[in-house]
């Protein structure tokens, strides 16, 4: 038991005091950054991704050199469970917090007196170094990864690839290595990393061979370090040729991989054991959003929509298989993926034959999913997300959603995403750029929007009236509300994330009047302050749900003072650091959905009320007979 733990009586008290559970022992340890960000993360990866048994591992193992204690190794892995002495240690892991780059020499010091140790890992939560211990000088050499349990560093079998438990640190490791070793600008790093991910996707989709081509052996890595070409390079070039043939809308035929062979080998080595297609959507989403945010930095007010809010919006509006879905600010594709998966589940209930089911799902993805983003790099990421989830990527393209409709339609058609025209969509989900920093000042754009014009209140009627003058600049979130309604077909629905000021500021009374005159307000759901903080923004926001109606339908509806669903989410399911908040019983113990006590956060139910709001809206729709 850790010193100081005994004074706390309950699990909740311990965790409030900053303790966390060690993944191997399930005992509480201090919640130091190196434990939270590195040690517990890699313990889980060793178990779930590399296949090592929990009783084969030991945290804080005291290593001796002769009679001297040279320190506790953060994690050791034994060759087997029969002998848990220092002479049977196979792998040593040294963990540091994110701002630390020291410790590799310390790792080698730990490995030196261990007669059967073969591998060492240094990990600080965002960077990883793998080394192999040799029997003669130079005694240690860098390697691209460590072997999985019972295997050697050879190309993996596809059947043995594992879903990733955590990709965020892996993506950060790849990004940091490329950035440090290639001397590229960040956007170049971004594009090279995308290419490698597409190599991985194409290989996962290739069923012609049981052995993965996406990988690197120890021998190939040694040759790269010696500056010698080998089968690895030709294999990657062959894969990229297939990528360009299959995804010509993402990469041009003359593009090439611009990384040094050693860099390419390192990044491939980090990803070779994963099955990205089977990795949970939220794990991939967090990794992609973190990766993208490192390059975009929200310069136009963009930030990404957390999974609970994506789920809220999709489930509340409930898209159907005959409806076309559109996100005009699709970012990394979170809404598109979630809407597609939601409809696929509906299709599964109707189509039972596997071949027909796959055809029906693919047909929906190709025909009914459309996404657009002003940033071409984000559009590429969104395409990749769709490919990872088994396609629909051809409906994603890059254009400015606030441009003239004819320009957008022409751009969409040129990029293969047909049917992007005014009044076409049944369903829109979006989280547009926010804020005054990224105001739209282009008068050619503003003149096409009623909400690009100035408005003034009429003191006699109490109504706002549009003027002929344009604003000097208008925030994009307001223009997006108008643009999304323009894109909707009659009786189409939309969910849009907007800052609370759009709903409360007295100077924006004209906006609220305009919305009431153009659409039925289905619901407003207030989001807690911490919703976007882990994703780089502290804005207080709400989700506005609207349905587009004909003017006569809307006029008749307004006569009845129609009901609007109002929801407040108080518990989003994570804290300001993005850490999951677990559901607990009255004794402070973590519990699952059945109320059973569990000891690991991943086994506990999430403490959130997003699900309650979704269910309350379903009841609201039934009670008021809303056909949406």
Q: Shortest CA distance to 565 belongs to which of 624, 509, 609, 510? A: 624
**Helix (H) and strand (E) counts for the chain?**
21, 18
pLDDT exceeds 80 at position 295:
no
* Cis previous bond, 138, omega within 30: yes
For 155-181, the pLDDT digits (tens) are 999 999 999 888 888 888 888 888 888
pLDDT exceeds 80 at position 1:
no
What would the DSSP string read from start to end of 48-61? HTS---GGGEEEEE
Contact 231, 155 (CB under 8 A): no
- Tell me the three state secondary structure of residue 98: coil
Q: Shortest CA distance to 212 belongs to which of 243, 236, 248, 245? A: 236
pLDDT at position 154 is 92
pLDDT at position 390 is 67
For 20-65, the pLDDT digits (tens) are 889 999 888 998 999 998 999 999 999 999 999 999 999 999 999 9
For 509-548, the pLDDT digits (tens) are 999 999 999 999 999 999 998 888 765 566 789 999 999 9
End-to-end CA distance of the chain: 55
pLDDT exceeds 50 at position 5:
yes
Burial 413-449 (b: 16+ CB within 10 A, else e): eebebeebeeeebbbbbbbbbbbeebebeeeebbebb
pLDDT > 70 in the chain, percent? 94
Cα 315 from chain centroid (whole Å): 19
Torsion angle of the four alpha carbons 620, 625, 627, 628, in this order, in degrees rounded to the nearest 10: -10
Distances in whole angstroms, Cα of residue 417 to Cα of each of 166, 366, 372, 410: 33, 9, 9, 10
Which residues are 370's β-sheet partners?
326
Q: What distance in Å separates the CA atoms of residue 210 and residue 329, rounded to the nearest whole number? A: 39
pLDDT exceeds 70 at position 217:
yes
Question: Comparing 245-249, 261-265, 360-364, 421-425, which segment has the lowest mean pLDDT?
Answer: 245-249
Q: Shortest CA distance to 551 belongs to which of 520, 510, 586? A: 520
**Residue with the larger pLDDT of the pair 378 and 476:** 476
For 432-444, the pLDDT digits (tens) are 987 656 799 999 9
pLDDT exceeds 70 at position 212:
yes
pLDDT at position 479 is 96
**Residue with the larger pLDDT of the pair 617 and 539:** 617
pLDDT exceeds 70 at position 393:
yes
For 480-517, the pLDDT digits (tens) are 999 999 999 999 999 999 999 999 999 999 999 999 99
Would you state the structure tokens that stand for residue 108, as one six-digit string? 């080698």
Contact 590, 597 (CB under 8 A): yes
Angle, CA of 427, 430 and 433, to the nearest 5°: 155
């Amino acid at each position: 038991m850790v010193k100081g733990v005994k004074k706390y009586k309950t699990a909740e008290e311990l965790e409030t005091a900053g303790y966390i559970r060690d993944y191997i022992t399930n005992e509480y340890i201090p919640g130091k950054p190196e434990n939270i960000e590195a040690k517990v993360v890699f313990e889980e990866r060793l178990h779930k991704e590399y296949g090592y048994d929990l009783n084969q591992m030991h945290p804080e193992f005291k290593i001796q050199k002769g009679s001297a204690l040279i320190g506790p190794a953060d994690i050791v892995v034994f060759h087997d469970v029969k002998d848990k002495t220092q002479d049977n240690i196979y792998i040593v892991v040294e963990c540091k917090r994110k701002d630390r780059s020291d410790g590799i020499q310390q790792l080698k010091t730990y490995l030196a007196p261990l007669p059967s140790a073969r591998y060492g890992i240094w990990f600080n939560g965002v960077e990883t170094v793998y080394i192999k211990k040799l029997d003669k000088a130079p005694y240690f050499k860098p390697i691209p990864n460590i072997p999985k349990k019972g295997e050697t560093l050879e190309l993996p079998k596809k059947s043995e690839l594992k879903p990733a438990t955590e990709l965020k640190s892996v993506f950060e490791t790849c990004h940091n290595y490329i950035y440090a070793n290639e001397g590229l600008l960040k956007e170049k790093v971004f594009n090279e990393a995308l290419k490698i991910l597409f190599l991985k996707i194409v290989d996962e989709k290739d069923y012609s061979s049981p052995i993965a081509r996406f990988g690197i052996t120890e021998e190939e890595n040694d040759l790269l370090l010696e500056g010698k070409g080998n089968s690895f390079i030709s294999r990657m070039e062959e894969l990229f040729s297939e990528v360009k043939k299959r995804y010509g809308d993402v990469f041009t035929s003359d593009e090439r991989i611009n990384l040094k062979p050693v860099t390419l080998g390192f990044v491939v080595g980090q990803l070779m054991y994963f099955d990205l297609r089977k990795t949970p959507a939220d794990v991939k989403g967090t990794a992609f959003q973190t990766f993208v945010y490192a390059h975009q930095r929200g310069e136009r007010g963009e930030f990404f929509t957390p999974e609970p809010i994506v789920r809220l919006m999709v489930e509340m509006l409930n898209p159907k298989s005959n409806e076309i879905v559109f996100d005009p600010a699709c970012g990394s594709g979170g809404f598109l993926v979630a809407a597609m998966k939601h409809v696929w589940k509906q299709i599964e209930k109707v189509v039972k034959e596997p071949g027909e089911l796959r055809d029906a799902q693919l047909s929906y993805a190709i025909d009914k999913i459309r996404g657009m983003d002003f940033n071409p790099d984000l559009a590429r990421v969104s395409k990749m997300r769709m490919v990872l989830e088994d396609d629909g990527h051809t409906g994603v393209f890059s254009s400015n959603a606030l441009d003239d409709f004819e320009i957008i339609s022409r751009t969409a058609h040129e990029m293969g995403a047909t049917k992007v025209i005014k009044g076409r969509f049944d369903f829109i989900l979006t989280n547009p750029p926010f804020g005054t920093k990224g105001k739209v000042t282009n008068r050619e754009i503003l003149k096409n929007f009623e909400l690009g014009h100035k408005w003034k209140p009429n003191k006699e009627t109490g109504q706002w009236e549009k003027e002929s003058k344009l604003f000097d600049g208008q925030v994009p979130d307001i223009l997006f509300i108008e643009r999304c309604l323009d894109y909707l077909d009659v009786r189409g629905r939309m969910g849009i994330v907007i800052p609370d000021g759009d709903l409360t500021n007295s100077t924006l009374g004209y906006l609220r009047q305009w919305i009431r005159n153009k659409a039925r307000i289905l619901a407003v759901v207030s989001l807690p302050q911490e919703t976007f903080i882990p994703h780089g923004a502290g804005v207080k926001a709400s989700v506005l749900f609207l349905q587009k109606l004909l003017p006569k339908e809307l006029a008749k509806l307004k006569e009845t003072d129609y009901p609007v669903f109002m929801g407040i989410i108080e518990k989003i399911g994570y804290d300001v650091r993005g850490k999951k908040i677990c559901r607990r019983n009255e004794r402070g113990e973590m519990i699952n959905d059945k109320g059973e006590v569990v000891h690991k956060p991943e086994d506990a139910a999430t403490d959130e009320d997003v699900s309650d709001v979704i269910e309350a809206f379903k009841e609201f729709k039934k009670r008021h007979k809303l056909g949406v």
